[in-house]
Amino acid sequence: MRIVLMGAPGSGKGTQAQRLVTRFHIPQISTGDILRQHRKEGTELGKRADAIMAAGKLVDDATMLDIIRDRVARPDAQSGFILDGFPRTQPQAEALTTLMKDLGTPIDAVVLFEVGADELVRRISGRRTCSLCNKVFNIFSAPPASPATDCAPGSSEHQLFQRKDDEEATVKERLRVYEENTRPVLSYYSDAGLLRTVSAEGAPEQITQRLLEAVGSAAAAAKPPGGAKPAQPAKSTRRAAPRKRAARAAAKRRGAAKTRARTTGRRTPIRKKAKSKAAARRRARPSAAAARKGAGKSRAAQRRRSRKSKR
């Protein structure tokens, strides 16, 4: 099963992706994570990305597609994967479709996590990070415990701060950019019949259930209808053809005979197959033997009458 997850920042893709990983045992492929891994390991793709970023540019689509190609070719992704963070534009979506077809692994479904704008702002602007242990909390949905038992040694309270990216004004701008760039991608996948929309508001368990239903319908659509079996090779009809022709001819003769019987008032005998000479000889033998036996009896009777007359 090959799935693309889409949704605005704060829609909960990461949380639900991990639940899919646990359920289906397929990897989550985050383009941001694998890009950082290539750069850290100093691979050829990582060096190419470093050179682009050093020039103050964004990593181009061709490089990102090569990174995705490398990742989906690994053994753990052969049964499927969950792609997160790509594509973000329609040209990227079109290029990804071409890549997956070339690899013989087309995308099965694109799942959109739908959340209202006000709820997204609340979720993201409520994020707080602890300056002591770097743990992330949300003052609305996941506030830190007090006193803190999981913070840095010697600290009984988390020291929270808000990142600039999580400030409300910044969040609204991020959502505007997302809307502008991503909506054409959704239209592209909708036209392709791959888009599934999931309401991502409510309890996490409820969202997971909706996601599983959407993914399940996509998996069913990807299978051959009715569990169709591979087509069997056609049987040869060379030997059966003469038999069929003979049967059709016999039926035609019977039909003609019935028609004549209806029109003339008497039945017309249907010509039977000629009997073989061997069969005729076999049937003739008993008659010849009987004739010889009769002739013998006649001669014996004549001899008896002759003897009586002499007496």
**88 belongs to the catalytic site:** yes
The amino acid occupying position 82 is I
Which of 77, 56, 66, 57 lies closest to 3, judged by CA? Answer: 77
Write down the architecture of domain 2-115+182-224 according to CATH.
Answer: 3-Layer(aba) Sandwich (3.40)
Q: What percent of the chain has a predicted confidence (pLDDT) above 90? A: 50
Which among 2, 71, 127, 128 is annotated as catalytic? 127
Q: How far is CA 29 from CA 5, 114, 218, in A?
A: 10, 21, 19
Which among 19, 39, 88, 172 is annotated as catalytic? 88
Lowest mean pLDDT among 45-59, 120-134, 211-225: 211-225
Q: What is the mean pLDDT of residues 152-171?
A: 91
Per DSSP, 264 falls in state H
Which among 48, 174, 196, 210 is annotated as catalytic? 174
pLDDT tens digits along 92-135: 999 999 999 999 999 999 999 999 999 999 999 999 999 999 99
Which among 163, 176, 245, 293 is annotated as catalytic? 163
Is the pLDDT reported for residue 284 higher than 60? no
Lowest mean pLDDT among 45-49, 68-72, 76-80, 224-228: 224-228
Which among 2, 13, 71, 210 is annotated as catalytic? 13
Kindly report the pTM of this predicted structure: 0.64
CA–CA dist 36, 29 (Å, integer): 12
**229 belongs to the catalytic site:** no
- Determine the pLDDT at residue 58: 82
CA–CA dist 44, 38 (Å, integer): 8
30-59 burial, b at 16+ Cβ within 10 Å, e below that, comes to bbeebbeebbeeeeebbebbeeeeeeeeeb
Confidence of residue 253 (pLDDT cuts 50, 70, 90): confident
**297 belongs to the catalytic site:** no
Query: Three-state DSSP class for 108?
Result: coil
